[in-house]
Amino acid sequence: MRRIVARAADAHRLNQAFSETPFDNFKFEPITEHQVSRAMTSRYFKDLDEYAETDVIIVGAGSAGLSCAYELSKYPNVKVAIIEQGVAPGGGAWLGGQLFSAMVVRKPAHTILDELEVPYEDEGDFVVIKHASLFTSTILSKVLQAPNIKLFNATAVEDLVVREDELRGKYVGGAVTNWTLVSLNHDTQMCMDPNVLECKVMVSSTGHDGPMGASGVKRLQRLGMVTGVPGMAALDMNTAEDAVVRNTREVVPGMVICGMEVAELDGCPRMGPTFGAMFMSGQKAAHCALNSLRRQNALDKDVPSRVAVPAPELTKA
């Protein structure tokens, strides 16, 4: 009997020794609920105030939009707002094809992976990242840290600001926005008016499908600013990726398009699950936007430039 009691005491001692963790008796610093509320709202509304006038608005934070934002993070005096309708930025870049994990990137687009320090397996003419989310989380972390960039997610671009002057003709001058949950409920409620952010250049990277895919070029078509949006053609990896990068451009004054939105406008083939064109198209779009800013600053030479944009560097081939 005494032996049994002694063993039970040993077990209790052991149990105590092995159930201790470095987090036992952990205690947080004090806080009040209003402090939490003000910490969030004061910053959000300060950002809205600051970005009511911005240099660049990127619509859509998929692989093309994020690559554009990453390139623009190298120009700290260019103010950039990203507007993403989803709660989670990243678009289709959290997975590879058919919801598989690996992400395939054709060379030479792997140079951006080297820059971001995203590891990959080298397969010769292409590389493979073990999980698409590794690319997306890494580029997001760089973009979100950049002091010149603000992401407004859960926010949809519902329409464009379009103005006209003698120098440029019709040009895009901003984004008409609303909470995405509001945008998706216009049919269920009375009029719920939007907010507006002005920009000097918009980069539209809204992809090809989803509830609002290719919304930028579709709106331009309804406004008569582009003639048609035929939609992407059938899959052909070899021609698709070159075409998307080649056709990335300022399609009307003040609006650059990139990523799969280019294929929607120009009827280029789709590439399926190879992502190099998205990276390069996004990076090229950043340089098209910088060129547009410099051109506009030169046109507005009597007005003091809000941004001093340095000469663009050549995109890495």
62 lines the binding site for ligand AHZ (CB under 6 A) = yes
- In this structure, the number of other CB atoms found within 10 A of the CB of residue 156 comes to 26
Residue from the set 103, 104, 143, 156 that interacts with ligand AHZ by CB under 6 A: 156
Give CA–CA dist 155/181, Å, rounded: 8
Residue 272 annotated as lining a ligand binding site: yes
We find the least distance from the C-beta atom of residue 251 to ligand AHZ, in angstroms, to be: 15
DSSP per-residue string spanning 232-290: -BS--HHHHHHHHHHH-EEEETTEEE-THHHHHHHTPBP--SB-HHHHHHHHHHHHHHH
Nearer to ligand AHZ, 90 or 253 (CB): 90
Give CA–CA dist 234/163, Å, rounded: 36
Residue nearest to ligand AHZ (CB): 62
Give CA–CA dist 67/282, Å, rounded: 5
Contact 167, 150 (CB under 8 A): no
280 lines the binding site for ligand AHZ (CB under 6 A) = no
Site for ligand AHZ in 66-85 (CB under 6 A): 83-85
96 lines the binding site for ligand AHZ (CB under 6 A) = no
Count the residues of the shown chain that bind ligand AHZ, applying the rule CB under 6 A.
31
With H, G, I as helix, E, B as strand and everything else as coil, classify residue 182: helix
Helix, strand, coil in percent for the chain, rounding step 5: 40, 20, 40
Contact 57, 69 (CB under 8 A): no
Q: Is the dihedral of CA 115, 121, 126, 132 positive or negative?
A: negative
Residue from the set 260, 265, 268, 309 that interacts with ligand AHZ by CB under 6 A: 260
Site for ligand AHZ in 167-226 (CB under 6 A): 205-208, 210, 212-213, 215
Nearer to ligand AHZ, 156 or 307 (CB): 156
Nearer to ligand AHZ, 155 or 296 (CB): 155
- 297 φ/ψ angles, rounded to the nearest 5 degrees: -65, -35
Site string for ligand AHZ, 1-40 (x = CB under 6 A): ----------------------------------------
Binding site for ligand AHZ (CB under 6 A): 59-65, 83-86, 91-93, 156-157, 205-208, 210, 212-213, 215, 259-260, 270-272, 275, 278
Q: What are the binding residues?
A: 64, 84-85, 92, 157, 193, 208, 260, 270-272
Q: What are the binding residues for substrate?
A: 64, 84-85, 92, 157, 193, 208, 260, 270-272
